[in-house]
Amino acid sequence: MGGYLRTTILLAAMTALFVAVGGAIGGRGGMLVALGVAVVTNLFAWWNSDRMVLRMHNAQPIGPQDAPQLYRMTQAMAARAGLPMPALYLIHEDQPNAFATGRNPQNAAVAVNTGLLDLMTEEEVAGVVAHELAHIRNRDTLIMTVTACLAGAIGMLAQFGFLFGGRDRERGPGPIVGLLLMVLAPIAAAIVQMAVSRSREYEADRGAAEITGNPAGLARALMRLEQGKLGHVNQAAEANPATAHMFIINPLNGQRMDGLFSTHPRTENRVAALMALAGQGGTGTGGWQQGAPVAPPMAGSRGPGGRVPGSRTQGNQVPSNQVPGNRGPGGSAPAGPWSRPGAPPRRNPWG
């Protein structure tokens, strides 16, 4: 089943659940009140999503002078995806991760953690950035806002039932059925909401493969991200768990099961889907060449043999079962395409 069809079915199920619960607990009036409140609160969150989330994670705006290669890469892939250039942000966080936000492509932002830039090759960063651009192109922020509106309205109806006893018991479904609806309906809504989130991750992975033409590059990036987050606690994400679904990899600790309440599919399942695409020859045209510049290089950005420092050649790819840290002598990251021109090698090029 395709990602869009799955999302449509899940949203239809959420709507049907809302209508059923609303009719049983709140009646038509209660349905309209709950839906109205949920729509207003979630539309406010959607309209201000970029500023709110970026502030929660202490993201800092960066321009072409701060990260020229990253900026050019994002600009080139946004053009491939048919998108305007999103605003770029950097989060000073050791856990490797990234997310996209914004109410539409014209007001979108992509934020990456310093831990991701420390750890990854150019090809892998390209896969991650393309995944976030795919979320923007698919308008997943809007999809998740609609889902949150319906889930919030269902939860509010359940609260109405607990506080005010629901609608007239003589016309209602009976006290036992009403009580079960009050308890189970919000749980069912949360399950559907998480299922929508998981389906959007698969669709964004596929979109990234289309943008880069290199599904195997994103597969390696996901494996590296999964391993790289071990031992690193993202304090901002732990303090704001409602934003976890926005990240390319679940940033929260202790959430490894691919269960009903998981915001992300299991990484190995995503990797398997991407490698299946790679086995079919990928989905893009042209392909993202590993180690190739994304634009005319900055002066002095080439190393011995004309290779971009910090990139990997085709004969030195990371095997799919090994994701070592990308470290140089003394534990520092090599001077790669993410460093400022002329900056010495150091663990965190953003200092």
- How far are the Cα atoms of 189, 228, 243, 245, 316 from residue 238, in angstroms, in the given order? 23, 17, 9, 12, 36
The whole-number pLDDT of residue 157 equals: 74
**Domain presence at residue 149:** yes
pLDDT for position 298? 29
Q: Is 122 annotated as a binding residue?
A: no
The pLDDT confidence band at residue 1, using thresholds 50, 70 and 90, is: low
Read off φ and ψ for residue 10, nearest 5 degrees. -65, -40
Structure tokens that stand for 17 in this block: 């659940």
Buried b (16+ CB within 10 A) or exposed e, 305-343: eeebbbbbeeeeebeeeebeebeeeeeebebbbbbeeee
Q: pTM of the entire structure?
A: 0.71
Structure-model confidence comparison of residues 19 and 316, the more confident one: 19
Q: Which residue has the tokens 């600790």?
A: 253
Examine residue 296 and state whether it is found in any structural domain, yes or no.
no
Q: Write down the pLDDT at residue 87.
A: 95
Query: For the chain, what is the mean pLDDT?
Result: 74
How does DSSP assign 212-235, residue by residue?
HS-HHHHHHHHHHHHHHTTT---H
pLDDT 10s digits, 230-279:
889 999 988 888 788 889 999 988 654 456 668 899 999 999 999 999 98
Is the pLDDT confidence value at 10 over 90? no
CA distance 132 to 89: 13
| pLDDT winner (highest mean) among 124-128, 149-153, 244-248 | 124-128
| pLDDT over 50 (residue 285) | no
By CB neighbour count within 10 A (0-12 exposed, 13-18 middle, 19+ buried), where does 143 fall?
A: buried
Q: Is 92 annotated as a binding residue?
A: no
- Residue pLDDT, tens place only, 67-104: 999 999 999 999 999 999 999 999 999 999 999 988 88
| Rounded-to-integer distance, Cα 186 and Cα 34, Å | 13
pLDDT of residue 239: 87
pLDDT of residue 341: 43
Domain count, the chain: 1
What residue numbers bound the domain in which 238 lies? Answer: 3-279
- Helical ranges in 107-261 per DSSP H: 114-119, 122-137, 140-164, 175-212, 215-228, 235-239
In a domain, 341, yes or no: no
**What's the confidence (pLDDT) of residue 3?**
57
Average pLDDT over residues 126-147: 89
Q: Could you give the CA distance from residue 250 to residue 241 in angstroms, rounded to a whole number?
A: 10
Residue 124 is a catalytic residue? no
Name residues whose C-beta falls within 8 Å of residue 210's C-beta, 6 or more positions apart in sequence. Answer: 134, 283, 284
Give pLDDT, residue 254.
62
Helix (H, G, I), strand (E, B) or coil at 165: coil
Report the distance separating Cα 43 and Cα 64, nearest Å. 32
pLDDT on residue 143: 80
Q: Which of 288, 287, 339 is nearest to 309 (CA)?
A: 339
Per-residue DSSP letter, 301: -
Catalytic residue among 132, 203, 210, 226: 132
Strand 98-101 with 60-62, pairing: unpaired
Instruction: Quote the CA–CA distance of 169 and 191 in Å, as a whole number.
Output: 28
- For residue 165, the model assigns a pLDDT of 58
The pLDDT value given to residue 206:
95
Tell me what percent of the residues of the chain surpass a pLDDT of 70. 69
Residue 65 has pLDDT above 90, yes or no: yes
In a domain, 325, yes or no: no
Q: What pLDDT, on a 0 to 100 scale, did the predictor assign at position 146?
A: 75
Residue 93 token pair: 């966080």
Q: Is the pLDDT of residue 320 over 70?
A: no
Q: Which residue has the higher pLDDT, 55 or 156?
A: 55
Position 318 in a domain: no
pLDDT in the model for residue 242 = 76
**Rounded Cα–Cα distance for residues 312 and 315 (Å):** 8
Is 98 among the domain residues?
A: yes
Instruction: Find where tokens 């309440």 sit.
Output: 261
Phi, psi of 89 (to 5 degrees): -135, 150
Cα 126 from Cα 312, distance rounded (Å): 13
Instruction: Report pLDDT digits (tens) over 182-230.
Output: 788 778 877 887 888 888 999 999 999 999 999 999 999 999 999 998 8
- Ligand-binding annotation for 245, yes or no, is no
Give the C-alpha distances (Å, rounded to integers) separating 71 from 44, 85, 112, 118, 178.
Answer: 30, 9, 12, 16, 55
- The residue among 290, 23, 33, 24 whose CA lies nearest residue 176 is 24
The pLDDT, as a whole number, for residue 113 is 96
Beta partners for residue 90, in sequence order: 60, 112
Q: Which residues, in sequence order, are bridge partners of residue 88?
A: 62, 110
Tell me if 290 is assigned to some domain.
Answer: no
Which burial class, exposed, middle or buried, applies to 1 when counting CB atoms under 10 A from its CB (0-12, 13-18, 19+)? exposed
**Does residue 156 belong to any structural domain of this protein?**
yes
